[in-house]
Amino acid sequence: MPQPTDYWHRLEGKVAIVTGAGSQGDGVGTGKAMAYLFAREGARVCLVDQEPERAQITLAMIAEAGAEAFVHAADVTQPQACADVVAATVERYGRLDVLVNNVGLGAGGGRLAELSPALWDRVLDVNLKSALLMSRAAMPRLVAARGNVVNIASSAGLRAHGGAAYGPSKAALIALSRELAVMYGRDGVRANTVAPGHLFTPLVEKFIDEAGRRRRRLVAPLGIEGDAWDVAAAALFLASDEARFITGVCLPVDGGVNEIAALAALEMPDGA
């Protein structure tokens, strides 16, 4: 979808943390899009990234739009780093309403012989453990604000994609969201998941050609690719008060890929 141009202050007065908020170059990935959209919708945002120079690109985009954010460098697979992120955010803005666990590692594909125990551990650390640690650090503040958690998983967590580590890590992240929703629902805290499908982002652009992009369009009922702004719009809705009666859900943002049988997808006409 095009970058939004109209904003409705849906997060006015809120404070958000977005992990993996950095950008690879001038393109727009999911972390950058979510952080920017949240800020334009009125939130003050902590931009978390292990490589702060990437988050500075996001910060510049937000500042140019007249919105407010700051950069905090952190390795969110480490408990103390997660605690420091929350402390820095609360010290600066006085509260915390939304935690977006977006940081992820797209590795761990292929067969078992190609997956080392070290790589398995790394994928689970980045894609799952980081969300657990950030949620644990943030929860007292989210309870105080009756806030919410938005976890960014993947369609690989819903259907097998041929990878022994990545898919299971994202499936576990979806399960973690459900558990958080149940554990903290009586405290007024919501927890939901966005599961992106076939997106065209700066990261994807590096390893896919036009033929690959066409194949991805062909298996989607809508016949199009998504992008980072589609994910940002979904996350914004779940983070906003408009979703006050929604918790524990996994929202696929995938053009319908997860709702169509393989043979039906194969037989669909080429709409590209």
Give CA–CA dist 230/234, Å, rounded: 6
Both structure tokens of 100: 């977006």
| Greatest CA separation for the chain | 56
> Side chain identity at 8, as an amino acid letter?
W
Among all residues, which ones are annotated catalytic? 166
Alpha helices, DSSP H, located in the chain: 30-40, 52-64, 79-93, 117-124, 130-145, 166-184, 202-205, 210-218, 228-239, 262-267
Cα dihedral: 37, 72, 153, 143 (round 10): -90
In the chain the first and final C-alpha atoms are separated, in Å, by 16
Sheet holding 98-101, edge to edge: 69-73, 44-49, 15-19, 98-101, 148-152, 190-196, 250-253
Q: Which residues of 88-104 are buried (b: 16+ CB within 10 A; e: fewer)?
A: bbbeebeebbbbbbbbb
